[in-house]
Amino acid sequence: MRDNARMQETPTSATRTAWHVLGAGAMGCLWACSLASAGNAVRLLLREPPACGSDASITLIPHPADGLREETLLVPVWLEAARDNAPIARLLACTKAPDLLPALEHIAPRIADGAAVVLLQNGMGFHAAVASLLPRARIFCALSTEGAYREGSLHVRHAGSGETLLGAFPGSAEIGATELVGELGRGFLPVRAVEDIIPALWAKLAVNCAINPLTALHGCSNGELLDRPTLRGEFDALCAEIAAVLAGLGHPGLAATVAADATRVARATAANRSSMRQDLEAGRRSEIGFITGFLCQQAQAAGLPCPLNEALLTAVRQREQAKQA
Ligand code: NAP
């Protein structure tokens, strides 16, 4: 094992940007490695001061598409406690959605005026709250199809190669995401700027609403939703309700394609265990409140019925509470 070969081709320190990455989980470690591989100074923000000292390495098992020659790499990063006081100019927030606001509240005093804050969480309903919490920061939304999981502390496997879309949260950043893509996309993870990220967030949310709660509650793979007749019936009915809500909320294009989109994703990821299923099985709180919960809130505010989604939201929450009790 040796340090990432790309580290030897890093830009001069004058061209480096310090990136703080919040959350040392699967995505936080993966992105920290990608940013470090491009010569950025990376500071990984932890809840507590690091027990092992600040000078550390992440063990990365890269994906073949990363173009990294080694099977396992040690990527040097700097660990920092959230409660330190050095200012933050670039932040990539990689907690799960329910942890995002509490984590940001802790570090809000450190966020510099005009700082770029990139939110990588799945789901919707937290971006506006972050913009209110950090009114002088520029908030960006990132939507990633990369797949990664933790093999241990500061040890990550890049299991699926994808792409990350980056867009400014409307009203929060006057300039678009192009400037940031130059920094975030310089590593081995591809990043693409989009003019309007909101339709992409809705499209991902709609597919997640169709797949995640059903797989979590039935303990089935994504593909079983299509292949087991009783589950297929539930899946089709849920897609129809999601489509009706989307149409009522003014997203007719998405309403027309959600069933086909969710079917395509379930087929393409047939063997996968959805993240919500993994969370429930591990007794962790899931992101349901920012997926199905957000859809239900929007539907209720618009007077649109969504009984199937409400029932799934309640059932997942009950399952979470039962596991945590
Ligand atoms: P994860 O492995 O659970 O990592 C989240 C990390 O955030 C954990 O290390 C957690 O620490 C840390 N954290 C929580 N609160 C914190 C705080 N106050 N201060 C510092 N650190 C804190 O989750 P993930 O898989 O990386 O997912 C992160 C987000 O990316 C989710 O919204 C997910 O849906 C999305 N996403 C993930 C993938 C993927 O393949 N993993 C792909 C696309 C999108 P503890 O472990 O101590 O709680």
DSSP readout, 25-91?
SHHHHHHHHHHHHTT-EEEEEESS--TT-SEEEEEEE--GGG--S-SSEEEEEEEEETT----EEEE
The domain spans of the chain are 5-196, 200-324
Mutate to test the pocket of ligand 1, among 58, 94, 105, 166 (most ligand atoms within 8 A of CB): 94
Which pLDDT does position 174 carry in this prediction? 65
Spot the catalytic one: 20, 96, 204, 251: 204
Q: Which CATH number fits domain 200-324: 1.10.1040.10, 3.40.50.300, 3.40.50.2020, 3.90.1150.10?
A: 1.10.1040.10
- The pTM is what? 0.94
CATH topology (fold) of 5-196 = Rossmann fold (3.40.50)
**pLDDT tens for each residue of 127-156:** 999 999 999 999 999 999 999 999 999 999
Instruction: Tell me the torsion sign for CA atoms 309, 277, 211, 204.
Output: positive
In short, whether 214's Cβ falls inside 6 Å of ligand 1 is no
User: To 5 degrees, how large is the angle CA 12–CA 94–CA 166?
Assistant: 70
Q: How far is the CA of 25 from the centre of ligand 1 (A)?
A: 5
**pLDDT tens for each residue of 106-124:** 999 999 999 999 999 999 9
The answer to whether the beta carbons of residues 101 and 130 sit under 8 Å apart is yes
How do beta strands 73-81 and 55-61 pair?
A: antiparallel
Nearest-Å Rg of the Cα atoms of the chain is 20
**pLDDT tens for each residue of 164-219:** 999 999 887 666 678 899 889 999 999 999 999 999 999 999 999 999 999 999 99
Interval 63-67 mean pLDDT? 96
In eight-state DSSP terms, residue 187 is: S
